[in-house]
Amino acid sequence: MSLASTMPTTPITPASTAPVAPVARAPMKPLDEALAELLARALALPGFETITTFDGDGRVLAQDLVSSLDVPALDNSSMDGYAVRRADWTSAAGVLQVSQRIPAGSIGRALEPFCAARIFTGAPIPPGADAVVMQELCETVDPDAGGVPGVRILRQPELGQWIRRRGEDVAAGAVVLHRGTRLGPAALGLAASIGFDKLQVARRPCVALFSTGDELVMPGEVLPADMKPGAIYNSNRFFLKALLQRLGCSVTDLGIVPDRLDATMAALQGASQQHDLILTSGGVSVGEEDHIKPAVQALGELNLWQIAIKPGKPFAYGQIGAAHFMGLPGNPVSSFVTFLLLVRPFLLKLQGTTALAPESIAASAHFDWSKADKRREFLRVKQNAAGGLELFGNQSSGVLTSTVWGDGLVDNPPGQTIAHGDRVRFIPFSALLS
């Protein structure tokens, strides 16, 4: 029997032409949903450090600061001038005797009727005085031979004017700064004003940082004229390290990891031993040279998310042992924006910070945006002298100049166009980079 006689008579469709069902992709995750999932995993780091108040800038309080004294401790003068009894003023022609001089740090005696006390800013108000007249509204009167100097008050004083009352700034027993407060210069001054020279603060998150990509080179290692085709300088490494340090993190910079699975696994395994977070940029897609995904999956667990934002769609979160892992996209603006929107609040919550979301303000768009996108967009803009927002011309995820030219982001909802004059949500970089 020939082989031909055994073949079926009905034609067979070749396998290569058979219809193939498309691979279903998980829907993109809304930003707010992704952030909520991340923050649910960001448990405050255990323990605290005791530091000097001088070194507290950017750190997060691990204790409530309770004042043991009133600030100011006594009624005092907020002006250089004369402390007087308001009832003694009869007219601008009247002269009061200057019976004492009270500099800051001294305590005066009770003020007698028809007398004034020369007083200086911060000095305690003498008993009996109920107003301070600034020296610009006074005329000194030379005494007669052997007499007492005098002062003429040119305008009737108001009761209590230029007097700072005891405890008007801080009352004894009040919580002045709450646990979870991120300290800035003003907060440090306030802590010092109630006597704190040392503070208990949350410990710094330890973060391991590295980039992946054989195309990356470091500035200084290769001159621009000697760059190979396809090579690029590693800009992400610089701004990510700076952002981490601004958030109070202790950063271990692991440099550039080659595009090999073994090298990626070795870097991740080593970093997971002594760090709270491993942060990478690049390699979180699903290409053949993107080794982050299989490496993290082999060592721990990974959630690869497509976030419904532009720029910054690819994002990865996982854990390797006790260390958190976050993978940012490689395009510099995508990496920059994704860090601000997702990594920043995560790191703040690790330190126990209570204020996580930057405040947005309503502002007028001085541009048109007709390219409505299905994703939530973060447009780089600059506020002009009139208070309106101007748009950077190129909103590509690779144009890092837009983040230097601009001073904030417009948070534009999905599917939303913008016409000149529309009110939009503006998030200043000052609220995201501090």
Weakly modelled stretches of the chain, pLDDT under 70: 1-25, 145-146, 284-289
Q: Angle at CA 340, nearest 5°, toward 40 and 260?
A: 85
pLDDT given for residue 303 in this prediction? 87
CATH superfamily of 31-44+204-350: MoaB/Mog-like domain (3.40.980.10)
Give which of 190, 179, 184, 176 is closest to 59, Cα–Cα.
184
pLDDT at 365: 98
CATH 3.90.105.10 domain extents, the chain: 60-69+168-202
Distance between CA 203 and CA 287 in Å, rounded?
A: 38
- Topology adopted by domain 76-164: Molybdopterin biosynthesis moeA protein; domain 3 (2.170.190)
Q: What's the gap between Cα 227 and its chain centre?
A: 36
| Spatial distance between the Cα atoms of 384 and 247, rounded to a whole number of angstroms | 28
Q: CATH 2.40.340.10 occupies which residues in the chain?
A: 361-432
Using an 8 Å Cβ cutoff, are 172 and 70 in contact?
yes
Q: What is the model's pTM?
A: 0.84
Q: What tens digit of pLDDT does each residue of 364-406 get?
A: 999 999 999 999 999 999 999 999 999 999 999 999 999 999 9
What are 196-234's pLDDT values in tens digits?
999 999 999 999 999 887 788 888 888 998 889 988 888
How high is the pLDDT of residue 8? 39
Task: Using alpha carbons, list the distances in angstroms from residue 17 to 10, 11, 22, 23, 211.
Answer: 17, 13, 14, 17, 41
Q: Which of 25, 31, 39, 36 is nearest to 376 (CA)?
A: 31
Q: What is the pLDDT of residue 291?
A: 83
Instruction: Please report the beta strands in 284-407, taking only residues with DSSP state E, as ranges in sequence order.
Output: 301-306, 309-310, 314-320, 323-328, 361-364, 376-383, 389-391
CATH topology of domain 60-69+168-202: Molybdopterin biosynthesis moea protein, domain 2 (3.90.105)
Q: Evaluate the omega torsion of the peptide bond into residue 14 and state whether it is cis, within 30 degrees of 0.
A: no
CATH class of this structure's domain 361-432: mainly beta
Residue with structure tokens 């395994």?
269
